[in-house]
Structure 1
Amino acid sequence: MGETIVLPAQDPRRAALEADGWVIVARSFGAQLHSDGINDQRLHALIAGAGGLVRELGDADVDAVLHLDAITIEDYPGSTATQHTPLDRRAATPGVSRRAFGAFGPDGDLVSMTFVNVDGVEAETHFTVVHRAWRGQGLGIAVKAASVLALAEEGVTRFRTGGSADNVAILRANDAVGYVRDEEWVTLEQDVR
């Protein structure tokens, strides 16, 4: 693999790089949601529709978080701009500025989670993941919806999220929660053939 560069999709340098043989190897996006655009009723319905228990995660959930992270570490699409670093015990421990929400299966196993970094009235999703066996059931949507509802109730007014533009599931989850895409990025790699 050659050198990589991540640029906004509309960056004027992109055309010159592509003319010099750089190729797009991944696309990513950013999206926002303002608290005045939150549809509480819809978000509560999305959580209820997923079934199972959806709640905020705490210290007692760290082992479950580490387990789910370990078995899904290879599941993040994209490249440099959307890589997920495996969690260690410290990173898996929620706190005041790093909140986490999860969904649990009938057997009590954590099957979906989202981690959100909070700074005053701003929150940015760090990552969201769903166990392979539980995908397509609205659990990623449910944990994102739960995070938005809880944090908005505590005074957060601006929410950001992002990820791989190739990840159809997260695009659908963000749309369902009410996020609006406002950034597009490209990852270019030097063609070394």
Structure 2
Amino acid sequence: MGETKVLPADAPEVAELEAQGWRVTAWSFGAQLDVDRIDRQRLQSLVDRTAGTGTTRALGPDDVDAVLRLDALTVHDYPGGVATQHTPLDHRTATPTTTRPAFGTVTPDGELVAMTFVDTDGPHAETDFTVVQPRLRGRGLGQAVKAASVLALADTGTTRFRTGGSAENTAIAAANAALGYVRDEEWVTLEPRPR
């Protein structure tokens, strides 16, 4: 099998490759939220409604072991192939920093049940990944941790937020929409047909 290609869905090369026998194996998207479009009250309500599960807050060095446990539990949950794959965290990459902050929901007994990591570059931020403990999915925890990240980073000067994911992941698409992200990119992953 040849190499995999990830291209904008509307790129002329997509039709050319399909004519040569390549096939689309996955769809992914990008979305943006600018600070002037943030509905702070709405985002805060998304954070607050998870209070029955735990506390949603910034994560720090003391949370690394919990981050690694949740990452290991969810490492195979990323749909969409090469465009949205996730590299398992190690101690270094699981440690939040000023340019790679993380936010999570922690239960009263100390279990980390949702988290999001964000890469920042000056006034711009891009969500790296967001995951939720499988037994607690569908309760708004993904929305809560993403909302907490947007609120905190907007308070420290971030003006543009980017995120994305697999088009197969309806939960993250719904979370992004709830926060006010606007989808502005569509990507396809193509692979040559087996011979």
Q: In the aligned structure 1, how far is the partner of 2:77 from the partner of 2:2?
A: 23
Q: 1:43-192 residue pairs with structure 2 within 5 A?
A: 43-51=43-51, 52-192=54-194
Q: In the aligned structure 1, how far is the partner of 2:50 from the partner of 2:190?
A: 37
Q: In the aligned structure 1, how far is the partner of 2:132 from the partner of 2:79?
A: 13
Q: CA deviation at 1:2?
A: 4.1
Q: In the aligned structure 1, how far is the partner of 2:181 from the partner of 2:109?
A: 31
Q: CA deviation at 1:158?
A: 0.4
Q: In the aligned structure 2, how far is the partner of 1:2 from the partner of 1:166?
A: 24
For 2:138, what is the secondary structure of its paired residue? coil
Among the aligned pairs, what percent are the same residue? 65
Q: In the aligned structure 1, how far is the partner of 2:108 from the partner of 2:23?
A: 45
TM-score (norm 2): 0.97
Root mean square deviation, CA, Å: 0.9
| Residue matched to 1:39 | 39
Q: In the aligned structure 2, how far is the partner of 1:24 from the partner of 1:2?
A: 14
Q: What are the superposed Cα offsets for residues 11-46 of structure 1, whole Å, 9 maximum, x if unpaired?
A: 001111111111110000000000000000000111
Q: What are the superposed Cα offsets for residues 75-111 of structure 1, whole Å, 9 maximum, x if unpaired?
A: 0111011000000100000011000000123432000
| Residue matched to 1:13 | 13
Q: What are the superposed Cα offsets for residues 47-83 of structure 1, whole Å, 9 maximum, x if unpaired?
A: 1112321000000000000110011000011101100
**Moved >3 Å (runs of 4+):** none
The code of the aligned residue for 2:22 comes to W
Residue ranges of structure 1 left out of the alignment (5+ in a row) = none
Q: In the aligned structure 1, how far is the partner of 2:21 from the partner of 2:49?
A: 48
Residue ranges of structure 2 left out of the alignment (5+ in a row) = none
The code of the aligned residue for 1:96 comes to T
Q: In the aligned structure 2, how far is the partner of 1:28 from the partner of 1:107?
A: 36
Q: In the aligned structure 2, how far is the partner of 1:169 from the partner of 1:50?
A: 16
Q: In the aligned structure 1, how far is the partner of 2:136 from the partner of 2:191?
A: 34
Q: In the aligned structure 2, how far is the partner of 1:105 from the partner of 1:166?
A: 29
For 1:146, what is the secondary structure of its paired residue? helix
| Residue matched to 1:3 | 3
Q: In the aligned structure 2, how far is the partner of 1:28 from the partner of 1:22?
A: 17
TM-score (norm 1): 0.98
